[in-house]
Amino acid sequence: MSAEQEGQNFLASVDRYFEKAAAATDHHEGLLEQIKICNSVYSFRFPIRQGDGYKVVKGWRAEHSHHKLPVKGGIRYSMETSEDEVIALATLMTYKCAIVDVPFGGAKGAIKINPKDFEKDDLESVTRRYTTELIRKNFIGPAIDVPAPDYGTGPREMAWIADTYLAFHSEQIDALGCVTGKSVPQGGIRGRTEATGLGTYFGLKEACSHEDDMKKIGLESGMEGKTFVVQGLGNVGYYAAKFCSEEGGAKLIGVAEYEGSIHKEDGIDLEKLIAFRKETGSIMGFEGATDLPSRESALELECDILIPAALENQITVKNADRIRAKIIGESANGPITANAEAILEEKGIMIIPDVYLNAGGVTVSYFEWLKNLSHVRFGRMGKRFEQGAYDRILNIVESQTGRTLTKEERQTVARGADETDLVYSGLEETMITAYNQIREIRKQNDRVDNLRTAAFVNAIDKVALCYLELGIFP
């Protein structure tokens, strides 16, 4: 299938989810149409240098919804991208931001290149030229449209984007907020790297905390002791697995990676597995684990939670009826096809949708943007003051009880919050609040049959309210 056809299918499936959720709301047809369509797409071509020659490449920036500004979404460098894919991803960003109350509209950008074919200097030129195109058309700016990394881009590209924007807008005091996902020295924020995996953990933990929901799928409440399998040990999968096991007390019993999959019923030590893979280039042959027949096999292991965190379309009609997890937490985007979802639900599997569960990245990007606008690191003003206040309380406790606290006890309690603490706290609050909003819609609205539809209804309601209150200009 060509990239264009895949993009069309992807957009059609996003629109299908929208239509299903829209039918569970009472909004006016015209309003729903305004929420669904993509407001603007800037599609352009530009020449680039490659080695001694020249090449013309395609670029896009789609701004799906301007109900809140700025709009926000990543930029991907990929040969597999297309205009429809960019629109579909921008659309999902609108819903994702609304679900986690990040006050942005959705956007996405892409350049149709394989970054591996480029020398670093040429890639820098491509990135700066792309940014200049966005500047010329007013498709970037801290109050307008704020890109972030996606496939094929990272903090390095974000620094080039920021620098190019600053070169054109040196008078703008908030110019650094034109892009997120920067490295910390370039104005990025601590906690961004692990944000999506950590958000996945917070979301799963909250889902597992509801006793009545767990009872329905034959599980005890709480994450402690639950078995889980993860697909993909990249940025998202690694941190999701790390927090679920280290913080949540869950047991990692299976891993699927590009080269194959493994199973170990009494638990896989994640850090040892990562070190083993680094050394041998593979997860296969890991001590005490069983190598499974294929890389998809681990998805079919009996477990409490399955976390697909690699790529889209991993659970399809071909393997859906062999999935034995009780909960699937969609950390990746689109790991379950629509037809497979019907089979999984028939089997009583609880699916926690991507549009909610992997929103940790954009949530912390929002914190980075706030940091850039406030020009101060979170925690810088209050940390020592808080510590002093706790110290004074502990002094009173000591004098009242007559017991002197150990240095360790005092350090545990008398500690002011630093940037990482505040980012983690803000992310946890965001994921818990959003989950409960979705869960409530699922429970209260009898036209809503699952958490995905509930998440979309939640997004539609919020965007609709915003449009209604704003009115139409002129």
Residues within the interface to ligand NAD (CB under 6 A)? 196, 231-237, 256-258, 295, 309-311, 331-333, 358, 361
**Cβ distance to ligand NAD smaller for residue 129 or 295:** 295
Three-state DSSP state, 210: coil
**Cβ distance to ligand NAD smaller for residue 176 or 283:** 283
Smallest gap from Cβ 79 to ligand NAD, in A, equals 16
Strand pairing report for 145-149 and 290-291:
unpaired
**Cβ distance to ligand NAD smaller for residue 105 or 232:** 232
**Cβ distance to ligand NAD smaller for residue 188 or 232:** 232
- Give the max Cα distance, the chain: 80
Strand pairing report for 290-291 and 350-352:
unpaired
Smallest gap from Cβ 332 to ligand NAD, in A, equals 3
Annotated catalytic residue 108: yes
**Cβ distance to ligand NAD smaller for residue 286 or 448:** 286
The 3-state secondary structure of 341-402, one letter per residue: HHHHHHCCCEEECHHHHCCHHHHHHHHHHHHHHHCCCCCCCCHHHHHHHHHHHHHHHHHHHC
Torsion of CA 353, 200, 366, 6, to 10 degrees: -40
**Cβ distance to ligand NAD smaller for residue 144 or 311:** 311
| Contact criterion met (CB below 8 Å) for 244 and 223 | yes
Q: Which residue is nearest to ligand NAD (CB)?
A: 234
Q: Which of 348, 327, 316 is nearest to 229 (CA)?
A: 327
Smallest gap from Cβ 367 to ligand NAD, in A, equals 14
| Contact criterion met (CB below 8 Å) for 111 and 58 | yes
Torsion of CA 288, 201, 63, 473, to 10 degrees: 170
Residues in the chain: 474
The contacts of residue 204 (CB under 8 Å, 6+ apart) are: 223, 244, 248, 305, 307, 327, 329, 352, 357
Which burial class, exposed, middle or buried, applies to 9 when counting CB atoms under 10 A from its CB (0-12, 13-18, 19+)? middle
**Cβ distance to ligand NAD smaller for residue 364 or 464:** 364
The contacts of residue 201 (CB under 8 Å, 6+ apart) are: 239, 240, 243, 244, 247, 248
Smallest gap from Cβ 74 to ligand NAD, in A, equals 8
In sequence order, the β-bridge partners of residue 191 are none
CA of 55: how far to CAs of 111, 136, 157, 350, 354, in Å? 13, 21, 20, 48, 36
Smallest gap from Cβ 76 to ligand NAD, in A, equals 9
Smallest gap from Cβ 380 to ligand NAD, in A, equals 25
The active-site residue, picked from 68, 96, 108, 226, is 108
CA of 69: how far to CAs of 72, 138, 145, 393, 427, in Å? 8, 13, 7, 43, 21
Q: Which of 97, 176, 109 is nearest to 142 (CA)?
A: 176
Smallest gap from Cβ 237 to ligand NAD, in A, equals 6
**Cβ distance to ligand NAD smaller for residue 41 or 311:** 311
Which of the residues are catalytic? 108
